Amino acid sequence: MIQSSVPVTRFAPSPTGYLHLGHAHSALFAWRSARAAGGRFVLRIEDIDVSRCRPEFEAAILEDLAWLGLDWETPVRRQSDHMDDYGAALDRLEAQGLLYPCFCSRAEASRVASAPHDADRPALYPGTCRKLPLAERAGLRADGRAFALRLDSGAAAARTGPLSWTDRRRGRIAADALALGDVVLARKDIPTSYHLAVTVDDALQGVTLVTRGEDLFESTHVHRMLQALLDLPAPEYDHHALLLGADGKRLAKRDRAATLRALREAGKTPAETRALAGFADGRVDAR
């Protein structure tokens, strides 16, 4: 895989609603991080969960970003068009013996035995199906029970050895292979997952600098491990602070007033909207 000598950044929204100011902040952040260094900016539509995504939201994303003053390379990568790429990555992990089928329901998967856990951190999957006797596993498969595929994170860590990544804000970070536990890499209903698709796509799109909100910081531990297991290059990362609403809470897609559409309809200009998105000078080309 050829790494670009100029930075390549990306913005990767899911078409499950209209973009709001938080998305505008992320998109402008990525766009400027590339352009300030003479680099390239690409887009990706993260629509693996087709039941939650709608074509009109995808069209609205492109329209709203263009209105905001951004431009990007084409073609735009749409994840649902590339399921084969994720399947090939799963095959490689399977061949290394690092995946196991998980038959647990959502409720079972989030029930953590008795271990107390940090309230700020989501409960990790307790590894129930990793410990299933092989005969039981084969029986459930023979019965046609639906299963997800999980990464055996302990085995994966043993294979990769210590890993790290560079974060522009926090410096060199030691990857914690167990940070999110045995993550799902293929869902019961969809033959991939956020973690797998994002890692494969960032490499296939030649992304050298992943910029995204700090709410996704913990995911990078998993992505770094997947890069090592799949022989993909390790990009640099920049996890930016989230833009908060007037109430001090993070913006959500349901906050209709903060959508770029609503702001445009209320008469805001792109420059005013960029300023509201945290780029105070309102200029899209500012260095």
Residues that bind ligand GLU (CB under 6 A): 12-14, 46, 198, 212, 216
Helix/strand/coil for 155? helix
Q: How far is the CB of 175 from ligand GLU (least distance, A)?
A: 16
Long-range interactions of 67-70: CB distance < 8 A, separation 24+: 67/260, 67/264, 67/270, 68/24, 68/27, 68/28, 68/260, 68/270, 68/273, 68/274, 68/277, 68/284, 69/270, 69/271, 69/274, 69/284, 70/27, 70/28, 70/31, 70/41, 70/284
Among 238, 248, 196, 234, which residue's Cα sits nearest to residue 213?
A: 238
Q: Smallest distance from the beta carbon of 284 to ligand GLU, in angstroms?
A: 20
* Region for residue 127 given its phi and psi (left: phi exceeds 0; alpha: psi -120 to 50; beta: otherwise): left
Burial of 262 (0-12, 13-18, 19+ CB in 10 A): middle
Pick between residue 175 and residue 198 the one whose CB is nearest to ligand GLU: 198
Closer CB to ligand GLU, residue 223 or residue 274? Answer: 223
92 or 250, CB closer to ligand GLU?
A: 250
- Measured from the CB atom, the residue of 20 and 212 that comes closer to ligand GLU is 212
CB of 38 to ligand GLU, least distance (A): 23
Smallest gap from Cβ 14 to ligand GLU, in A, equals 4
CB burial of residue 69 (10 Å; 0-12, 13-18, 19+):
middle
Q: Which is nearer to ligand GLU, 45 or 129 (CB)?
A: 45
The nearest distance, CB 103 to ligand GLU, in angstroms, is 27
Torsion of CA 89, 90, 93, 97, to 10 degrees: -160
Strand order in the sheet with 184-186: 99-102, 148-151, 184-186
**Shortest Å, Cβ 165 to ligand GLU:** 14
CB of 49 to ligand GLU, least distance (A): 10
Which residue lies nearer to ligand GLU by CB, 129 or 228? 228
Residue number, 98 or 209, with CB nearest to ligand GLU: 209
